[in-house]
Structure 1
Amino acid sequence: MEKELFTGSKVAEVELVYRSKVKASQRPQVKTSLDAYMILSELWDEGTMDLQESFKVLMLNRGNKVLCLYNASLGGITGTVADPRLIFTAALKASAVSIILAHNHPSGSLLPSRADEELTMKFKGAGQLLDIKVVDHLILTAETYYSFADEGLI
């Protein structure tokens, strides 16, 4: 039985491309939460750390070297949105084996909110389905950081 085709149909095309301008030998390696914090603080827009919440993700290869930083969202004073679909799309596109979630608290408080904890578990579950490990979730302030991994929460 033949299928009738619609003439003039148009379909969108998806292209998976990852381009890095950083040589593999120049990529920073993350061995500890402090390493991740140092990399993130260097890349964070200094003017927004105490002003508004941002959510960023470090994408890592098998050797825990940073493939890229994904700026997932820029929010308001008390919150920001982190859409797992967009973040895992970026991770898949970069061929990341693992990711480190990060967001800042402009208030200076390092304590994770219940929403922070729930979001972390949501990402961890989604990552397991995609075989992309969520290594850590850092909460940053201008002075220091909190690591979900170091606290045994991931």
Structure 2
Amino acid sequence: METIEFIETFKVMLLNRANRVLGMMEITTGGISGTVADPKVIFAAALKSTASGIILSHNHPSGSLRPSQADINLTRKLKSAGELLDIAVLDHMILTSESYFSFADEGVI
């Protein structure tokens, strides 16, 4: 069974200055209706890997691509924190088995 349709997970892609991938990290795994992504864990991973940028992603098992208010609030919080740490938050993507929503593509980030 593919977990993209079963439980919500939050991952971060860690990038160097040239936007080359340093690694991927699963931040949290939740339940059917949500998961809690801790900004401290996200930026601890970015700082330990000396990342210059990050791309956030999580799935919506419901199949809805619409970001929740919690998704929007978290993205804004992480973007602001990244600016203080000089770590660019380049995108936040919501994935389903059918498609994706990109905060960057939609001009939300």
TM-score by length of 2: 0.98
Matched, 1:121 2:76: yes
Matched, 1:142 2:97: yes
What runs of 5+ residues in structure 1 fail to find an aligned partner? 1-45
Q: What amino acid is the match of 1:79?
A: G
1:144 deviation in Å?
1.0
Within 2, Cα distance between the matches of 1:143 and 1:57?
20
Runs of 4+ deviating beyond 2 Å: none
Within 2, Cα distance between the matches of 1:143 and 1:66?
25
Q: What amino acid is the match of 2:40?
A: R
**Which one has more relative contact order, counting CA pairs under 8 Å at least 6 apart?**
2
Q: What amino acid is the match of 2:25?
A: Y
Matched, 1:96 2:51: yes
Within 1, Cα distance between the matches of 2:20 and 2:100?
20
Q: Which residue of 2 aligns with 1:39?
A: none
Q: SS of the residue aligned with 2:93?
A: strand
Partner deviation per Cα, 1:57-107 (whole Å, 9 max, x = no partner): 000011111100010000000100100001100000111000000000000
1:118 deviation in Å?
0.3
Give the count of matched residue pairs.
Answer: 109
State percent identity of aligned pairs.
61
Q: What amino acid is the match of 1:89?
A: A
Q: Which residue of 2 aligns with 1:82?
A: 37
TM-score by length of 1: 0.70
Within 1, Cα distance between the matches of 2:20 and 2:99?
22
Q: Which residue of 2 aligns with 1:26?
A: none
What runs of 5+ residues in structure 2 fail to find an aligned partner? none
1:114 deviation in Å?
0.6
Matched, 1:52 2:10: no
1:123 deviation in Å?
0.2
Structure in which a larger fraction of residues adopt strand: 2
Within 2, Cα distance between the matches of 1:146 and 1:128?
23
